[in-house]
Chain A
Amino acid sequence: MLAAILAAGLAVGSIYALIGVTYNIMFSASRVMSFTSGQLGMLGGVFGALCIGRLHIPIIPGFVLAMTGCALVGLVTEIVAVRPVLKALDQHLYVLSTLGFALMIQTFTAIEFSTEPQPFPHLLGIGQGGPLDEKFWLPVVACFATIIGLELLYRRTLVGRAFLAIAEDNFAARALGLPERNLRMASFALAGAVGGLAGFSGGELLLAFFANGATLNFLGFVPVALGGLGNNRGAVIGGLALGVFQQAANFLMGGVFAGVAVFAVFIVVLLAAPQGLFGSPPARRV
């Protein structure tokens, strides 16, 4: 029982954490929170099922193809729904533009792919059944690989430092001659791939289902809210905690209660600490 809770909890928690990281990467590059974050997770699963399951492309090229597709969707998000509203960031038009674009992705998938959950292919066939099934540890591996990769990117490479510079002070970075727009586009493509990875690695768990987008939007945002906006480590801790909490509630008291409990925790934490548990204090208003 405990093993089952932990296996399922860490698995879904890793998926939520990765969606949280997707939110964070987009936010760092543009100060925009995007409703497409969860949709990218959904697309990771759908593209995976499409490439490997339906078109029978081998796993590795299929994976690359699915990630490329998600990165492209991330890029298009930037061009269509983010760049045009950056001028008036204080009017929060991005909430509406990204919501519109996310709904387009979601309904398009429902109509053109399927309105029912579709099976996701078995990737490796390791540890079938039981708590060590690949569907449980694949997302965890993906999550930690992503986090380590991102840390290396941000700390060790010039491009990564440029990302950090943009996130820290957009104006100063531009004054130093950094190609802010290209970096932003690269960030959104990266975010797309990370979101896609969440859905792909969790595909065997969540299946390829258009409605996953909305669910992941919310559940992936909870770790961001818990861990503080822009804080990737906070998102991972928050995501794993959320996953285990949700699965424990699910096993012990049933699915509906788990949903209500997650929502209640989300609200209570946000009201008590609007900046998240690891976030920075709010900016001065006057």
Chain B
Amino acid sequence: MRSLAPYILIFVAALLLPLFANDYWAVIGARAAVYWVLVAGLNLVVGYGGQLAIGWVALLTLGSYTAAILVARFDLNPFIAYAAGGVIGALAGVVVGLPALRLRTFYFAMTTLGFATIVTQVALAWQSVTGGGIGLPGPMLAAPFDSAWGFYLLCLGFAAVVTWMTANVASSRYGRSLVAIRDAEVAAEATGISKARLLVLVFLFSGFTAGVAGGLFATLQSYITPEAFSFDLSVTFFIAILVGGRGSIIGPLLGNILLTLLPEFAAPLVAWSTFLYAVLLLAIVLLMPGGIAALLDFRNRKPLESNRSIVPQPDRVRALLGHSPVRDDIVLTNVVLAFGGVRAIDGLDMTIRAGEVHGLIGPNGSGKTTTLNVISGYYSPQQGEAFLGTRVLPHGVPQARSALGIARTFQTPRVIGEASVLQNVMIGATIDGRASFMEAALTLPRHRSDEKRLTARAMAALDVVGLVSLAAVRADRLQHSELRFVEIARALTGRPAFLLLDEPAAGLSTEEIKRLGTLIKAVAEAGTGVLLVEHHADLIFDICDHVTVLNLGRELAAGTPAEIRAHKEVVSAYLGA
């Protein structure tokens, strides 16, 4: 799927460089390659994960000093020293990165900035080890890497390997999950993606490449002082990614080359280069938030067919879900949840049976969505419990619901606008992947079979909801009704035992509501229990096996659709005469 042509083009051009240019360009080229080793890893953090790590130069510093100290003081082999720098970088990456689990955007950016300042201060002050302001010699390599072009080719090799690995990660379920926590964090949790685990892996990887880049940087500089690791450099890395565009590899690669070469072509402007980068950053954010990658994205500029309709295939649901027969019920017992003085749920008992469609209706503010949020783990009830069979559903861990077979959709569809429809749907089966992060980075067999399986299942889910023709389209180009069905497809891809739908018919046409109803019934018949929060009374009465009516957080009535339709209070309070 990924087009390899631009990468090969850049690589071949880089290989041919020694034939045309003098030694000076070998140094410039090596610098671009070394920076890229760091930027490629950072790209997963910033471009894919959306974590604004602006102080990544700290890891370059640590890797540099580790390698330089090990070689200068302990006479270690430079390549082992590089690896050691990578390990230190990886550890520091986790330390700097972990606050991202609790802190958002600006706060996280500040902590990385603070860390970068501290590392430089320590490097300056710890003279006995780092040489202070006088500095240290960088590791010297033996032949054939001791010449300018030899070292250039070595760095190019590192850059190529890192490009390959990050591209593999980016196109794996890890890459998709990163984009999911960036653009649709709540939905990502509902599909079972653990932000903590994912970010630790990515910070380890990104820290490692930054540390290795640091070692290479020390050799490139041949002598390192704290001044070499200015904050400007950190900003350059960061800007290269944003100029290139979020969620792209080729874009930041071009951005990195551009930013490294820019000062060379405009020698009088060297003093102004940071100023120019800053202007570039501002201009990109304001005028072209998609960066270079958006300019190169020709596929998503073709107009979509304007007259398209969603045609679900309910008869294929069973094959997609492939259920085992025994299933537990979801049981709520005396659940109470208050926000301040408002008792949103006030002592609710409810049972959602496997293989049935359970309708939940009631006026606005009666606690329908709140009930759904309790079951899916976003809210913790103050009293009472939700059970799956006999097991208590743990509070406050929505990311654990997916493994229990509970999937959901949202009142406002939460999809990743910048990812394709297929990628969005594949998110739903993330936890069914088996390959580890490194297997994905190296495209080992288990990763390849994962991808094959998840793709096939996501395509089957798209087929079921009737959106196969839009699989490759960016999700933000879809209509509202289509997004509703994308969410359902995403939930079904995980083969849930229970499907919680939060107003799935809102904004749909009459015809679409009818098709949705048939689809939901087919899902229940295939063995998946459905909780349907809705305002469309017709849909509820058409397809539900059981209906609960809420009012002010309490059950007003419960029973079959026929019983509810005849219930006097319900008719007067909600349905109207």
Residues of A bordering B, CB below 8 Å: 33, 80-81, 84-85, 91-93, 95-97, 99-104, 107-108, 111, 214-215, 217-218, 221, 225, 254-256, 259-260, 263, 266-267, 270-271, 274, 285-286
Closest to B95 in A: A267
Is the C-beta of B271 less than 8 angstroms from some C-beta in chain A?
Answer: yes
Q: Is the interface of A mostly helix, strand, loop or mixed?
A: helix
Q: In whole angstroms, what is the CA distance A256 to B110 when docked?
A: 19
Is the pair B118, A263 in contact by a Cβ cutoff of 8 Å? yes
Q: Are B186 and A270 within 8 A (Cβ)?
A: no
Binary A-proximity of B274-288 (CB < 8 A = 1, otherwise 0) = 110111111001100
Q: Is chain B's interface secondary structure helix, strand, loop, or mixed overall?
A: helix
Question: Are A271 and B99 in contact (CB-based, < 8 A)?
Answer: yes
Task: Say yes or no: A100 contacts B279, CB within 8 Å.
Answer: yes
Known contacts A81-B282, A91-B289, A271-B102, then 5 further A-B pairs from the complex at CB < 8 Å, ordered by chain A residue: A96-B281, A103-B277, A107-B278, A254-B125, A286-B186
Cα separation A270 to B285 with both chains bound (whole Å)? 28
In the complex, are the beta carbons of A107 and B118 less than 8 A apart?
A: no
Instruction: Verify B121–A256 contact, CB threshold 8 A.
Output: yes
Subset of 19 A-B contacts with CB under 8 Å: A80-B282, A85-B286, A96-B242, A97-B285, A100-B279, A104-B279, A108-B275, A111-B271, A111-B275, A218-B113, A254-B125, A255-B121, A256-B121, A259-B118, A263-B115, A266-B114, A270-B102, A271-B103, A274-B103
Report Cα–Cα, A101/B284, bound state, in Å. 12
Select from chain B the residue with minimum beta-carbon distance to A101: B282
B window 374-433: CB within 8 A of A: 378-379, 410
Could you tell me the distance between the alpha carbons of A103 and B233 in the complex, rounded to whole angstroms?
A: 12
Query: Which residues of A lie under 8 Å from residue B285 when comparing CB positions?
Result: 85, 93, 96-97, 100
Q: Which residues of B contact A108 (CB under 8 A)?
A: 275
A107, B274: Cβ atoms under 8 Å? yes
Q: Are B106 and A33 interface neighbours, CB within 8 A?
A: yes
- Chain B: interface residue count, which band? 35 or more
Whether A103 lies near B121 (C-beta < 8 A) is no
Q: Which residue of B lies closest to A105 (CB)?
A: B278
Does B518 touch A at the CB level, under 8 Å?
Answer: no
A211 to chain B minimum Cβ distance, whole angstroms, is: 9
Taking the complex as formed, is B122 at the interface, i.e. its CB lies under 8 A from any CB of chain A? yes
Q: State how many angstroms separate the Cβ of B61 from the closest Cβ of chain A.
A: 15
B282→A100 contact, CB < 8 A:
yes
- Lowest 10 A-B CB distances belong to which pairs? A100-B282, A103-B278, A100-B281, A256-B125, A107-B275, A92-B105, A104-B278, A33-B106, A97-B285, A107-B274
Assembled-state Cα–Cα distance A104/B115 (Å): 22
Say yes or no: A95-B282 contact (C-beta < 8 A), given A108-B275, A218-B110, A271-B102: no
In the complex, the chain B residue whose C-beta lies closest to that of A96 is B285
Q: Within 8 Å of chain A (Cβ to Cβ): is B11?
A: no
- In the complex, what residues of B have CB within 8 A of residue A93's CB? 285, 289
* A285 in complex: contacting residue of B52, B115, B378, CB < 8 Å: B378
- Contact bitstring B94-128, A, C-beta under 8 A = 1, else 0: 00000100110111011101110110011011100
